[in-house]
Chain A
């Protein structure tokens, strides 16, 4: 059958199982938008800014584990995707971005809306393509999805000149092996590696598991739990690993790192074995590398060989699929108790920062209380999508998750503006789930134009704006490290409820803790987007805090009542 390049794009998207794409039309991508009219089974969500499209595709991918798709035109359309691609790259989220390019004869002439998009996106994509021959297009489409979702997932961009979108060829969908000689993601571990790992696991007195995003992405959460339970190994989670094991499980201590639970950080520093699963020893997790877990031997299992021995040198490094490798390891793991070690960790847990903040009521609303109440009234079952900053860390601390892929957040890149559009994407991917975007007043304003998208598509999500009138996390650093010089952090904000009204979105403002339950019920009972503004304490802090570059167990703790900072 003779098809145009644009129609081939649609045919390939359908064969990849794509249901929805997020995009914004423009000159160089118009043939593809025109082809959409012939493929009504592909839902297109019109965004208000291409950055929103990239975050929506990302949110969709994180919630479903499937590849998210975003589409933009050449030049400014494509460059607006860059933040979203970088976000997806850092957090290994599978998305395919399709961009229009000026026609081939115009490439390199500084044509209208021309940008070297493959050049611009090279460092922020797992791979990218500039299609130069229509015969390659079906192969490239198929490869792009394969590369995005396999191995360590990531964003792939396909830049397609307008004349190729219009050109016609006989379309034959390529079947069989893909000719990707340079792309062979690792899968299983060797017997020697398994043996070396088992030696360490079975001998350890104070072992601890560090579970990251990779355990979730590989689908290895069941195996993780089996490992932890069989040998009674306490589990700490990275920010993106939240939900890898139910956080109410007795072996789960909590989140590690800069704003992690103190008990986790103490345990890591005193452990004699770290079992790092699908995480990458980010600086926010390790603190000072020179003093990081110096007493511990280390096993590191990750799908990406270049992560092994990158930040932390390990005794056993295994490049492989987490689930496959854990399945290989499990039969050799001997049952153990580690009672003394587990009890020691319990002692640390007694001294938690949660102790006072949830109980103490100082009149006004406290962000941690709001988030904990949202957890309570959503029975801890919602998909929460956060933005970046204090509310993000408080969400991680005060909204325990039981299931994988229910807490979505920009961890690696720390992209403000991610939360709200990513929540739209998550809801479209998981329509049966309750989705909350928990965002700060600062980050929300970066992508709040997507309120129109949510209204136009009637996306049933609840937006909780934690409004402290500050860029809170930056203000916190200014308070601690810059003698309270609040340069450019106080924010004049619009009336968010009036704003919501302009988009015909129901809203509520909450200033008292007693109203939180009512607000959550209000939001849950509306079939469509809702916005709740929580007006919280302006100069609140997130504790504990490991100052950047400090030793992991040298945390600034929440002052006890009556104590001076």
Chain B
């Protein structure tokens, strides 16, 4: 792992699944001037709890301060460092590249075989590739595609989970069920 990657710290926060929580966390990062590489948020297997994966650059930001301030927030149920323990981290990218002729398309296929990637859409001039892998591998994949001509790209940012029995979970049920007036759960 390069030293650059070692400076990246992964934090996982379990948060209440209610309106405004993402805004609260983002507002904290902004007002305390914390540098965040990526922040992803999504649901968990429990309807009242969401999970955030936050990647910060430890060189530019005091990670302990981030953890202390996150933990202080009323809607943040639990925060943990993940970088210090064995974990799985994944980044997903969708990359649209030019593949106008057979040669180009063959190159694309060949690159996809060497990475955990696949072709998810084939158009007349371009094709969309999907990769889910460690961040470094995604970087390498993108670099290999670059000569072909990347026309559009999107990445999710890292999601991560501790290996084995390092289970990060909490019980939480709100006092009053969240407003489900529109028949669907509110998302943060």
Contacts and interface: CB of A to CB of B under 8 A. Distances in A.
A310 B179 CA distance: 39
A306 B65 contact: yes
B72 A306 contact: yes
B174 A305 contact: no
Contacts of A521: none
Contacts of A331: none
A562 B172 CA distance: 71
Nearest to B186: A132
B173 interface: yes
B120 interface: no
A182 B75 contact: yes
A30 interface: no
Contact of B68 (A180, A182, A308): A308
Nearest to A156: B74
| 6 tightest A-B CB contacts, nearest first | A306-B68, A182-B77, A181-B172, A127-B74, A181-B77, A136-B176
A174 interface: yes
Interface string B50-82: 000000000000001100110111111110000
B29 to A, nearest CB: 12
A179 B173 contact: yes
Interface of B: 15-16, 19-20, 23-24, 27, 31, 64-65, 68-69, 71-78, 170-176, 179
A interface, size bucket: 20 to 34
Interface of A: 118-119, 122-123, 126-127, 130, 132-133, 135-136, 139, 147, 174, 178-183, 304-306, 308-310
Residue of B24, B64, B72 contacting most chain A CB atoms (<10 Å): B72
Contacts of A308: 68
Contacts of B173: 179
A213 to B, nearest CB: 18
8 contacts: A127-B74, A179-B173, A181-B172, A182-B16, A182-B74, A306-B68, A308-B68, A309-B64
A179 B20 CA distance: 18
Most buried by A among B73, B74, B174: B74
B27 A182 contact: no
B134 to A, nearest CB: 30
A476 to B, nearest CB: 30
Contact of B20 (A118, A126, A183): A118
A305 B31 CA distance: 18
A511 to B, nearest CB: 47
A418 B148 CA distance: 65
Contact of B19 (A132, A174, A182): A132
